[in-house]
Amino acid sequence: MIRDEIVEWVRKQPYWQQVGADAILRGIKINESLIDEVYLTLKQDHNLEETLSTRKSLEFLSNSTKPKSISKVIWNELSEVKGVNALSSSSSIPVGRQLTIIYGLNGSGKSGYVRLLNNAFISRGDKHILSNIFNEENVTPSAKFVFENEKGNSETLVFPEDHKNELFSRVAVFDSKSATNDLTKDVELNFAPIEFNFFDEFNHLITEVKKRLNEDIKEKNKENIYVRQFPNKTQIGELVKSINSNTEYVDLENASKTDHLKNELQIKMKRKSELVALNIMNQQKLLDKRKAKLNGIKERIKVINAKFSSERIDRTKELIQRRSDLKKKFQLLRV
């Protein structure tokens, strides 16, 4: 059975998902109450809320895969019909163990009963319910169904509130329109038992629980204001930035201990004293003065070097050679 396979799959899921799946399998509609219950169980599973000493028993998971309590079911009665065609709200139909015949004049309400049954049970028949023209108020079509199991225990379900209950999937309705649909149209699953819609319902429930979780995270996600105290990248600063719900207090306590830094601090304080004794400011001023003198010497050297350029050296050589030539000529003239 599909139900057996679903139950086996659910048993492998976390407990909080089992709670939601159990409710869906019991035909409970997904509402705020169910979402709250599943979300609370999720937080308890992750130690975000105080966990109960005992967990509630899950009906479809604690029993065998084949529910023994409703292995055989008999539909006994239909009563308190409201908002269906011209049927009286006080009308009821006892269902016989072998055969039940409904008869009456045209317009007496026979089709109204059939349309109600087509909506409540498995059927491809006529499901169009007309409003009660004799009732001035707009009443939602509803009725009570009484079932009896093999142990003789009765259970009363209200349609449509309890429509997802498995008992409604135990009865099938066949009328003239059902015959036409069966012969001319493809089979649809819109009238199938709850097992076919289980995963759609289950996914919807998980999505709603996830939405609750994200809202809680957003609300409780506070800014870490202590990060501002550590603008530089340091070991303590990085630890403060990484603080989250998983941070252990002992890690913060160990990081706050500074005994191992005493020797390093003493070395740095000694070096600081040495630097203060050097009178760095005066040394800097003296260095600036010497630098200025060196720049002056550098400029004078540039001026002197300009006098020993290759052009001036060549010119000097020419003058020396010319002097030498003139001296020789002068000596010849004297002779």
Pairing of strands 73-82, 122-123: unpaired
Q: How many domains does the chain have?
A: 4
Q: Are residues 55 and 125 in the same domain?
A: no
**Number of helices and strands (H, E) in the chain?**
12, 6
Say if pTM beats, i.e. exceeds, 0.75: no
Residue 121: pLDDT band with limits 50, 70, 90: very high
Instruction: State the pLDDT at residue 190.
Output: 47
Query: Mean pLDDT, to the nearest integer, of 51-56?
Result: 74
Q: Are residues 77 and 61 in the same domain?
A: no
Query: Mean pLDDT, to the nearest integer, of 18-30?
Result: 87
* pLDDT at residue 191 greater than cutoff 60: no
Query: In angstroms, rounded to a whole number, what is the distance separating the alpha carbons of residues 294 and 303?
Result: 14
- pLDDT above 90 coverage of the chain, percent: 25
In a domain, 322, yes or no: yes
In a domain, 293, yes or no: yes
Q: Are residues 79 and 183 in the same domain?
A: yes
Instruction: State the pLDDT at residue 66.
Output: 47
Among 193, 216, 199, 214, which residue's Cα sits nearest to residue 13?
199
Query: Mean pLDDT, to the nearest integer, of 38-53?
Result: 86
Q: Are residues 184 and 92 in the same domain?
A: yes
* pLDDT at residue 57 greater than cutoff 80: no
CB 27 within 8 A of CB 53: no
Q: Are residues 14 and 87 in the same domain?
A: no
- Encode pLDDT of 176-187 as tens digits: 888 887 777 765
Q: Which two tokens stand for residue 141?
A: 């079509």
Better-predicted residue by pLDDT, 209 or 183: 209
Residue 156: pLDDT band with limits 50, 70, 90: very high
Instruction: State the pLDDT at residue 63.
Output: 56
Length of the chain: 335
Distances (CA, A) of 55 to 19, 112, 202, 254: 10, 46, 21, 39
Instruction: State the pLDDT at residue 65.
Output: 46
In a domain, 240, yes or no: yes
In a domain, 264, yes or no: no
Instruction: State the pLDDT at residue 56.
Output: 76
Q: Are residues 79 and 184 in the same domain?
A: yes
Q: Are residues 133 and 97 in the same domain?
A: yes
Q: Are residues 79 and 165 in the same domain?
A: yes
Domain assignment of residue 47, given as a range: 2-65+199-215
DSSP annotation of 229 reads G
Peptide bond into 67 cis (omega under 30): no
What is the phi-psi region of residue 192: left when phi exceeds 0, alpha when psi lies from -120 to 50, beta otherwise? Answer: beta
In a domain, 176, yes or no: yes
